[in-house]
């Protein structure tokens, strides 16, 4: 990879993070509007996912350009986890104060975003030995290289997003069990969509970890991509059903946000598909999967624009319109990761 391209790919998630942070700040400047007080912190929290993606991008790129020192090996994952835990803390604080319904919704969404950031940072942590994957892919044996991390470490890495996903699924079902309450309805469905993303990230961590240990089997090649595509489809279908079956204004935000969360799952699938396509073989489709996160990012941005037209001049799209912009930024950040993976694994 060209050094200047490596800078470009690392800059993408940082720029997207700044867009989310600045966008959230501008929304909060609107003042007393509850929709603004709900959307601003969520947009800011979405920027932490982009920072976690930067950690992943930097971890892989520095191995490609041979500038991956022990300092970066320690600093990047720690930075990602600190940012993620701070996000989780503020999510908990919003839930804890619960003065108004939007505090309850904001808290659960920000907490869920913090869990996604933890999972993404775990992708970075599982990639500290990413440089072993091309060699393992070319090998005719299935023996783990001596430099790879242990089987126990692999299981711990996979276990982190697994626990995050299950915690969020449980929270979502508890909230939806009382979906007759508006804030439970909104927070429950969005938390369900976030849980689907964490479930998808199990597949990405597992794919990287198993390829690092040269234990990636035929089962993995099909199971993990299928899991992520199913999660994305569940989110999209759930969002469409909410918009179709519930005509109340409060259903608009979770409906469109779920569709956007489904786009993130599809973006994650591009990385898992790429790793599956090039493992111990050559594939003409490998270079095409880099288009998936670009298309999903464009979809989120176009949908955000169309909401203004569809619901003009009502105010019901204030939240989904701006959140979709943040989700589009995450999809574009994921484009940098899949492009890096394509460069690292190409023959």
> What are the residue ranges spanned by the domains of the chain?
3-345
pLDDT at 347: 53
User: What pLDDT is attached to residue 26?
Assistant: 92
Tell me how far apart the terminal alpha carbons of the chain are, to the nearest angstrom. 12
Handedness of CA 265, 270, 271, 274 (dihedral sign): positive
Residues 6+ apart with CB under 8 A from 212: 126, 129, 130, 132, 133, 136, 148, 149, 154
Residue 104 near residue 38, CB atoms below 8 Å: no
In order along its 347 residues, the chain shows pLDDT tens digits of 677 788 899 999 999 999 999 999 999 887 668 888 889 999 999 999 999 999 999 999 999 888 898 999 999 999 999 999 999 999 999 998 877 888 899 999 999 999 999 999 999 999 999 989 988 888 878 888 989 999 999 999 999 999 999 999 999 999 999 989 999 999 999 999 999 999 999 999 999 999 999 999 999 999 999 999 999 999 999 999 999 998 888 999 999 999 999 999 999 999 999 999 888 877 676 678 889 999 999 999 999 989 888 887 777 888 999 999 999 999 999 999 988 887 777 65
Q: Give the distance between the most distant pair of CA atoms in the chain.
A: 63
pTM surpassing 0.85?
Answer: yes
Q: What is the pLDDT of residues 14-48, one digit of tens each?
A: 999 999 999 999 998 876 688 888 899 999 999 99
Q: For residues 274 and 342, what is the distance between their CA atoms, to the nearest angstrom?
A: 7
């Amino acid at each position: 990879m060209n050094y200047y391209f490596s800078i470009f790919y690392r800059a993408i998630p940082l720029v997207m993070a700044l867009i989310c942070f600045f966008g959230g700040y501008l929304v909060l400047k609107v003042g007393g509007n509850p929709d603004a007080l709900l959307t601003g912190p969520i947009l800011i929290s979405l920027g932490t996912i982009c920072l976690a993606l930067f950690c992943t991008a930097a971890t892989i790129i520095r191995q490609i350009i041979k500038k991956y020192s022990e300092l970066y090996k320690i600093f990047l994952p720690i930075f990602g986890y600190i940012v993620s835990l701070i996000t989780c803390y503020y999510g908990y604080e919003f839930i804890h104060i619960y003065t108004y319904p939007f505090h309850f919704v904001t808290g659960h969404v920000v907490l869920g975003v913090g869990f996604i950031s933890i999972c993404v940072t775990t992708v970075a942590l599982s990639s500290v030995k990413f440089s072993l994957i091309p060699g393992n892919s070319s090998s005719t044996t299935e023996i783990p290289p001596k430099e790879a991390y242990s089987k126990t470490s692999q299981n711990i890495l996979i276990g982190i997003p697994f626990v995050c996903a299950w915690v969020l699924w449980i929270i979502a079902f508890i909230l939806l069990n009382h979906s007759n309450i508006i804030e439970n309805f909104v927070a429950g469905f969005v938390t369900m969509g976030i849980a689907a993303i964490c479930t998808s990230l199990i597949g990405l961590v597992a794919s990287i970890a198993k390829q690092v240990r040269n234990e990636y089997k035929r089962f993995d090649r099909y199971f993990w991509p299928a899991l992520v595509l199913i999660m994305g489809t569940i989110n999209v279908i759930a969002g469409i059903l909410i918009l179709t079956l519930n005509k109340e204004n409060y259903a608009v935000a979770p409906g469109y946000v779920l569709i956007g969360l489904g786009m993130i799952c599809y973006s994650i699938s591009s990385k898992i598909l790429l790793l599956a396509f090039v493992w111990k073989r050559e594939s003409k489709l490998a270079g095409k999967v880099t288009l998936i996160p670009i298309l999903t990012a464009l979809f989120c941005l176009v949908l955000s624009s169309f909401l203004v037209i569809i619901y003009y001049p009502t105010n019901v799209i204030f939240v989904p319109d701006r959140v979709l912009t943040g989700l589009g930024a995450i999809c574009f950040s994921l484009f940098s990761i899949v492009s890096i993976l394509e460069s690292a694994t190409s023959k």
